[in-house]
């Protein structure tokens, strides 16, 4: 009987474990493997080159540029949707007229794929007839033809804005759920103790939203780590690598320059960075559990 | 002086009126307890005093100030909730000092006052803990500490002890009584535990369906209930109600029920011939030893509570079992037939509309 359940367990586990191995472990392991080679991506002839791919990273200006952009991207892609989502949730929770409608409108973009979002925003940023320039023109009375995605100064920021537009809704919905779970009597204590709106927010509501923040930040971190498609669609890392990120750089090195070994080294670095961030995150999570668990 | 006056207070939620004209004057330093069945509006009334709920009509005066439309924080009240309402992310010290912190009181002063309050409540050793690491009783102490530190004119308690187990409840009850003696404050306390009400109150206010049924000292309510509602609500186990007929044919009125008849000697009471409800407390039914019994009854169940036993009796004249108290030594057992009399001077009479006669 005991043994039989054991067998069945293995049988049922086999499929998910198999899928996990094929889709996660195997590519990961191959990345590690190829990062020590000079493989070009298709040829059977390649050699082990030791750490030379990793040494090359130190001298690669584009890698450095991509690392900085990735840092900017990550911070912005986590912070902006989180803060905007919190702000919107607080607004809607304070029962402004039309709240439920706003809620649906802001949530809607999360249902779109990065390709669709990217295309929508390419149109919005279009220099001649794009919504943004038209709107600026209407306000200022001029007729600007600024190419938002084609200028190094604005390319990354413009993509971040599109990203934030898509991801704010999710943060907002999670924060709204968090707000409804704050016990009414705690807010009443604030009223009796004479807390100002700002004090109530800072001392009570935001700390009590910590569990929601944990979820929102986790989702945003994971999403932003994966945030390759929208950059690829909107700028492709350009112009002049101004919106290049590590993922984009890795893609370019591996598939455009056929330096699969070097690309793998970049992906290994990316993996270690992601692992570190997630590690830090889980450590913080424990502290939160201590208080709210 | 922190008197509290409720002047014709009404409250509606939408079209439903839940408070129907409450008039009450509570004296400085008085301990008043609101009791009543669930949903009768006790909490709503308390929350209107606190300002957490607006009034639909009437006036609330605290001290000499009309506070009907004053913000809760400016009413000089403090409130203790059934749920304790402690901030989970703040330590005990931060919870107690919450209001002072909001008022930008210097840190040293906050520490001093928090320390003082913690000392009176004997929770000094808990100051650095978070609420989730406290027991229910300790949490309630912290909540009380947070209200004491406000130095309010009026303390409001909404069932503060109902989440505690029985023995802790008794202990905390004592502590609240002590607190009331020590502090120079008026207290309004909501409970549906009538032992709590009886033991704490200077005066008890009995609510029913958004109205006050009766206001009085615990003994007044116990001995002179104004109607069957109060009579049945105050006292545990409840008063027995017996339907009887009044017979005034022989001069002095007599109440007849089943085979029994008891003279209603009290000359001040004026009886109309006809139906009446007699109210008899369990301790006023006596075993007729050497006297002529008023009636006999069969013992159905005996509850031995230690200090006394409760006996549930089946009678020919009452559909519900009649309850009486006997001393724990009494060898009564189910199936026994007991000869009983009523303590005739203690029998309450109620007219058909429920009002005491
Ligand atoms: N915010 C509200 N909206 C609508 N109805 C309400 C609201 N608050 C209370 N009520 C109603 O008002 C009535 C009185 O409620 P209240 O909470 O004051 O009763 P209570 O005497 O405190 O009862 P309990 O002993 O169960 O606490 C109830 O019928 C309740 O349903
Ligand atoms: Mg209540």
Beta-sheet pairing, B211-216 with B240-247 = unpaired
Residue A20 has pLDDT above 80, yes or no: yes
Q: Which residues contact B239 (CB under 8 A, 6 or more apart)?
A: B225, B231, B232, B279, B280, B281, B282, B348
Residue from A187, A193, A197 whose CB has the most chain B CBs within 10 Å, to mutate: A193
Surrounding residues of ion ligand 2, Cβ less than 5 A: B 43
User: What's residue A198's pLDDT?
Assistant: 93
Candidate CATH numbers 3.20.20.80, 3.40.50.1000, 1.20.1260.10, 2.40.50.140; the one for domain B240-350? 2.40.50.140
Residue A232 Cα distances to A242, A246, A264, B78, B340, angstroms: 13, 12, 19, 59, 96
The predicted model gives B48-52 an average pLDDT of: 95
Decide if A57 contacts A268 (C-beta within 8 A): no
Residue B266 has pLDDT above 70, yes or no: no
CA A1 to ligand 1 center in whole angstroms = 56
**Mean residue pLDDT across chain B:** 91
- Cis (ω within 30 of 0) for the bond into A239? yes
User: What's residue B193's pLDDT?
Assistant: 87
Query: Residue A180 phi/psi, 5° resolution?
Result: -70, -20
Concatenated DSSP letters of B104-116: T--HHHHHHHHHH
| Burial classification of residue A227, based on how many CB atoms lie within 10 Å of its CB (0-12 exposed, 13-18 middle, 19 or more buried) | buried
Residue B254 has pLDDT above 80, yes or no: yes
Please report which residue ranges of chain B form alpha helices under DSSP H: 42-50, 92-96, 98-102, 107-121, 136-148, 166-182, 194-200, 218-223, 228-233
The predicted model gives B66-84 an average pLDDT of: 93
Distance between CA B186 and CA B60 in Å, rounded? 15
A210 touches chain B (CB under 8 A): yes
Asked whether the CA dihedral A19, A23, A24, A30 is positive or negative, the reply is positive
Residue from B49, B79, B104 whose CB has the most chain A CBs within 10 Å, to mutate: B79
Lowest average pLDDT, out of A34-38, A84-88, B201-205, goes to: A34-38
Q: Which residues contact B71 (CB under 8 A, 6 or more apart)?
A: A191, A194, B51
What the block records as the tokens of B57 is 């009509």
Residue B68 has pLDDT above 70, yes or no: yes
Q: Which atom of ligand 1 is nearest to the CA of B37?
A: 25
The predicted model gives B251-256 an average pLDDT of: 81
Decide if B128 contacts B93 (C-beta within 8 A): yes
Distance between CA B225 and CA A208 in Å, rounded? 48
More confident residue, A85 or A246: A85
User: What's residue A229's pLDDT?
Assistant: 84
User: What's residue A98's pLDDT?
Assistant: 79
A128 touches chain B (CB under 8 A): no
List % helix, strand, coil for chain B (3-state, nearest 5): 25, 35, 40
Cβ–Cβ gap B73/A191 under 8 Å:
yes
Residue B143 has pLDDT above 90, yes or no: yes
| Distance from the first to the final alpha carbon of chain B | 38
Residue B293 has pLDDT above 90, yes or no: no
pLDDT digits (tens, 9 = 90+) for B175-232: 899 999 988 789 999 998 888 999 999 999 999 999 999 999 999 999 999 999 999 9
Which chain A residue lies closest to B155 (C-alpha atoms)?
A192
Q: Confidence class of residue A40 from pLDDT cuts 50, 70 and 90?
A: confident
Ligand 1, residues at Cβ distance < 6 Å: B 13, 18, 36, 38-44, 192
Residue B98 has pLDDT above 90, yes or no: yes
Specify the pTM. Answer: 0.83
Which chain B residue lies closest to A210 (C-alpha atoms)?
B89
CA nearest to B20, candidates B4, B38, B44: B44
Buried-exposed string B100-122: b where 16+ CB fall within 10 A, e elsewhere = bbbeeeeeeebeebbeebbebbe
A289 touches chain B (CB under 8 A): no
User: What's residue A2's pLDDT?
Assistant: 58
Q: What is the share, in percent, of chain A residues with pLDDT greater than 70?
A: 98
Decide if B89 contacts A208 (C-beta within 8 A): yes
Cβ–Cβ gap B102/A195 under 8 Å:
yes
What the block records as the tokens of A201 is 């927010």
Cβ–Cβ gap A193/B81 under 8 Å:
no
Cβ–Cβ gap A189/B98 under 8 Å:
yes
Query: To which H or E segment does residue A137 belong?
Result: helix A131-140
pLDDT digits (tens, 9 = 90+) for A262-271: 989 998 998 8
Cβ–Cβ gap A199/B102 under 8 Å:
yes
Which member of B83, B85, B102 has the closest CB to residue A194?
B102
DSSP state of B205: E
Which member of A188, A194, A210 has the closest CB to residue B99?
A194
CA B44 to ligand 1 center in whole angstroms = 6
Whose Cα sits closest to atom 26 in ligand 1?
B38
CA nearest to B123, candidates B79, B165, B78, B86: B86
User: What's residue B269's pLDDT?
Assistant: 65
Which member of A192, A199, A203 has the closest CB to residue B72?
A192
What the block records as the tokens of A114 is 């990065």
User: What's residue A52's pLDDT?
Assistant: 83
Collect all residues of chain B within an 8 Å Cβ-Cβ radius of residue A193.
73, 98-99, 102, 150
What ipTM was estimated for this complex? 0.86
Which chain B residue lies closest to A188 (C-alpha atoms)?
B52
Q: Confidence class of residue A160 from pLDDT cuts 50, 70 and 90?
A: very high
CA B223 to ligand 1 center in whole angstroms = 30
User: What's residue A101's pLDDT?
Assistant: 83
Start and end residues for every CATH 3.40.50.300 domain found in chain B: 4-233
As separate numbers, helices (DSSP H) first and strands (DSSP E) second, chain B gives 9, 20
Q: Confidence class of residue A293 from pLDDT cuts 50, 70 and 90?
A: low
Decide if A207 contacts A281 (C-beta within 8 A): no
DSSP state of A153: T
CATH class of A60-292: mainly alpha
Distance between CA A219 and CA B334 in Å, rounded? 68
| Burial classification of residue A181, based on how many CB atoms lie within 10 Å of its CB (0-12 exposed, 13-18 middle, 19 or more buried) | exposed
Superfamily of domain B4-233: P-loop containing nucleotide triphosphate hydrolases (3.40.50.300)
Angle at which helix A155-180 crosses helix A210-225, to 10 degrees, equals 150
CA nearest to B313, candidates B303, B278, B350: B303
The predicted model gives B102-111 an average pLDDT of: 94
Number of Cβ within 10 Å of residue A178's Cβ equals 22
User: What's residue B226's pLDDT?
Assistant: 93
Q: Which residues contact A32 (CB under 8 A, 6 or more apart)?
A: A264, A268
CA nearest to B344, candidates B219, B252, B213: B252
Q: Which residues contact A199 (CB under 8 A, 6 or more apart)?
A: A190, B102
Q: Structural domain boundaries of chain A?
A: 60-292
| Burial classification of residue B327, based on how many CB atoms lie within 10 Å of its CB (0-12 exposed, 13-18 middle, 19 or more buried) | exposed
Residue from B70, B88, B147 whose CB has the most chain A CBs within 10 Å, to mutate: B88
Number of Cβ within 10 Å of residue A137's Cβ equals 13
Collect all residues of chain B within an 8 Å Cβ-Cβ radius of residue A291.
88-89, 130, 132
Which chain B residue lies closest to A289 (C-alpha atoms)?
B89
CA B43 to ligand 1 center in whole angstroms = 7
Distance between CA A176 and CA A93 in Å, rounded? 7
Residue A1 has pLDDT above 60, yes or no: no
Tracing tokens 């907002």 back to the chain, one arrives at A172
Concatenated DSSP letters of B57-82: EEEEEETTEE-TTS-GGGTTEEEE-T
């Amino acid at each position: 009987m005991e043994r039989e359940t054991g067998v069945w367990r293995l049988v049922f586990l086999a499929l998910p474990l198999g899928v996990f191995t094929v889709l996660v472990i195997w590519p990961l392991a191959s990345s590690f493997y190829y990062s020590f080679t000079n493989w070009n991506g298709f040829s059977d002839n390649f050699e082990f080159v030791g750490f030379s791919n990793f040494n090359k990273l130190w001298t690669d200006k584009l890698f450095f540029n991509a690392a900085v952009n990735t840092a900017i991207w990550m911070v912005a892609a986590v912070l902006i949707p989180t803060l905007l989502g919190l702000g919107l949730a607080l607004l809607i929770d304070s029962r402004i007229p039309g709240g439920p409608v706003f809620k649906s409108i802001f949530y809607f973009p999360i249902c779109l794929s990065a390709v669709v979002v990217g295309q929508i925003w390419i149109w919005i940023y279009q220099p001649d007839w794009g919504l943004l320039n038209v709107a600026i023109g209407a306000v200022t009375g001029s007729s600007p033809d600024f190419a938002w995605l084609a200028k190094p100064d604005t390319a990354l920021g413009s993509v971040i804005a599109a990203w934030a537009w898509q991801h704010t809704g999710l943060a907002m919905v999670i924060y709204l759920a968090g707000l409804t779970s704050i016990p009414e009597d705690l807010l009443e204590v604030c009223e009796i103790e004479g807390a100002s709106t700002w004090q109530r927010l800072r001392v009570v509501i935001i700390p009590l939203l910590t569990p929601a923040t944990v979820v929102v930040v986790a989702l945003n971190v994971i999403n932003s780590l994966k945030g390759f498609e929208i950059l690829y669609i909107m700028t492709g890392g350009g112009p002049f690598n101004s919106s290049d990120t590590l993922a984009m750089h890795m893609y370019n090195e591996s598939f455009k320059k056929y330096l699969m070994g070097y690309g793998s080294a970049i992906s290994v670095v990316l993996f270690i960075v992601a692992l570190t961030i997630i590690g830090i995150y889980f450590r913080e999570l424990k502290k939160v559990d201590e208080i709210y668990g | 002086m922190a008197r509290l006056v409720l002047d014709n207070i009404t409250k509606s939620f939408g079209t439903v009126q839940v408070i129907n004209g409450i008039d009450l004057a509570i004296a400085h330093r008085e301990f008043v307890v609101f009791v009543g069945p669930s949903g009768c509006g006790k909490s709503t009334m308390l929350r209107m005093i606190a300002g957490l709920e607006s009034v639909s009509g009437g006036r609330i005066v605290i001290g000499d100030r009309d506070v009907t439309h004053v913000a809760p924080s400016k009413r000089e009240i403090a409130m203790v909730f059934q749920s304790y309402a402690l901030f989970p992310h703040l330590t005990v010290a931060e919870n107690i000092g919450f209001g002072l912190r909001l008022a930008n009181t210097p840190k040293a002063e906050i520490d001093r006052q928090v320390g003082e309050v913690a000392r009176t409540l004997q929770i000094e050793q808990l100051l650095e803990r978070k609420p989730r690491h406290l027991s229910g009783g300790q949490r309630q102490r912290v909540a009380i500490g947070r209200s004491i530190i406000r130095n309010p004119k009026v303390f409001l308690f909404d069932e503060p002890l109902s989440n505690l187990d029985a023995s802790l409840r008794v202990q905390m009850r004592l502590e609240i009584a002590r607190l009331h003696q020590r502090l120079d404050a008026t207290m309004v306390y909501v409970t549906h535990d009538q032992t709590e009400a009886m033991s704490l109150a200077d005066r008890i206010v009995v609510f029913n369906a958004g109205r006050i049924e009766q206001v009085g000292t615990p003994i007044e309510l116990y001995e002179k209930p104004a109607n069957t509602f109060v009579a049945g609500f105050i006292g545990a186990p409840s008063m027995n109600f017996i339907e009887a007929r009044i017979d005034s044919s022989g001069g002095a009125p007599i109440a007849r029920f089943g085979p029994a008849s008891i003279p209603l000697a009290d000359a001040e009471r004026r009886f109309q011939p006809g139906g009446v409800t007699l109210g008899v407390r369990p301790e006023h039914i006596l075993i007729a030893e050497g006297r002529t019994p008023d009636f006999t009854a069969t013992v159905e169940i005996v509850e031995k509570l230690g200090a006394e036993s409760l006996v549930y009796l089946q009678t020919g004249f009452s559909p519900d079992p009649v309850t009486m108290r006997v001393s724990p030594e009494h060898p009564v057992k189910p199936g026994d037939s007991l000869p009983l009399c009523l303590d005739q001077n203690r029998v309450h009479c109620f007219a058909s509309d429920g009002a005491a006669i």
